Amino acid sequence: MQGQPQTPEQAGAVADAVKGNWVDRLAPPATRPYLRLSRADRPIGTWLLLIPCWWGIALAAAAGTPRWEDLWLILGCAIGAFLMRGAGCTWNDITDRKFDAAVARTRSRPIPSGQVTVKQALVWLVAQTAISALILFSFNGAAIVVGIVSLLPVLVYPFAKRFTWWPQAFLGIAFNWGALVGWAAHAGSLSAAPVLLWLAGLVWTLFYDTIYAHQDKEDDVLIGVKSTARLFADRTGQWLTGFLILTVALFEVAVLAALLPAGVGGGALVLALLAPIALGAHLLWQLRRLDIDDPDVCLRLFRSNRDAGLLAALFLAVAAIV
């Protein structure tokens, strides 16, 4: 009927997209479904994938010597995070297309709404992965091996919510792999420090993605999808407090494991140790404002984790150059 508002599907948009995002405003119409498939209209996921990469690079540089080549590592990880987050979201939407069609918030996504076919999505997935591989292959051998291994948790993650109450842990495994890649790209090998940093990031993901999952808990019950939000329910605050403490503790131990054997002390050590404290302070701020029954609050707090992670990255970066 003329004058009647269009649904997101009719408008070619996605119901839960960020309002006024650049894809809807600037991208050519033919590219929009593919960019939405990659969540280019929602950059928070790219940030959360990228930040552990920068943690790994900065901590390795603080334990060793910053190099001009690190600038390429920083930029290459940024481009790679955008592409691999897009590839991961594309894979997730291919595997979840039936679930997405049954949920009001996600049924307007490109595949369930018919804007993109599964075959087209697979081609888009391969294209993004191939370009990411070109960037990865510009890094050293250790980083290449670590990066290739990361494909396994990426492939498994979309299926986790079908068989475990802890799919957020599988997301954490995949999303924080960049801490290992970033460290290896600078240092040329792995050690205990980047593994501890990866574990800290994994627990951080349990914190922020549990908050995110509370948006969908009612729909998840209806379609039989598991999550930590459903598992923790009214005890979410207690669990998140535990995740906060464990994130900070693991991060602190990672810093000590990286810097003390390298003989790094003084201001650099203090600044690096402040990184997890800054992260923890932001998580505490989120916890005090959390209302698990208010989806808008949950989404806003989830997105604020970009700032939390960047705070930690800033302290590590300054520690590396002092």
Ordered by where they begin, the domains of the chain are 37-321 (1.10.357.140)
Residue 132 and residue 110: Cα distance in Å, rounded?
22
Q: Write b or e for each residue in 99-112: b if 16 or more Cβ atoms lie within 10 A of its Cβ, otherwise e.
A: bbeebeebbbbbbb
> Residue 17: its pLDDT value, please?
56
pLDDT at residue 106 above 70?
Answer: yes
> Residue 220: its pLDDT value, please?
81
Residue 177 and residue 53: Cα distance in Å, rounded?
8
Where residue 8 falls among pLDDT bands split at 50, 70, 90?
Answer: very low
The 10s digit of each residue's pLDDT in 42-54 is 999 999 999 999 9
Where residue 287 falls among pLDDT bands split at 50, 70, 90?
Answer: very high
> In this structure, what DSSP letter does residue 234 have?
G
Give the closest residue to 284 by CA, choosing from 264, 303, 301, 261: 301
pLDDT at residue 97 above 50?
Answer: yes
Residue 121 and residue 106: Cα distance in Å, rounded?
16
Where residue 5 falls among pLDDT bands split at 50, 70, 90?
Answer: very low
pLDDT at residue 6 above 60?
Answer: no
> Residue 19: its pLDDT value, please?
62
Where residue 16 falls among pLDDT bands split at 50, 70, 90?
Answer: low
- Residue range 140-156: average pLDDT? 96
Give the closest residue to 205 by CA, choosing from 231, 237, 233, 240: 240
Percentage of the chain modeled with pLDDT above 90: 84
The 10s digit of each residue's pLDDT in 203-224 is 999 999 999 999 988 878 878 8
Where residue 12 falls among pLDDT bands split at 50, 70, 90?
Answer: low
pLDDT at residue 20 above 90?
Answer: no
> Residue 202: its pLDDT value, please?
98
Give the closest residue to 240 by CA, choosing from 218, 270, 210, 212: 210
pLDDT at residue 242 above 90?
Answer: yes
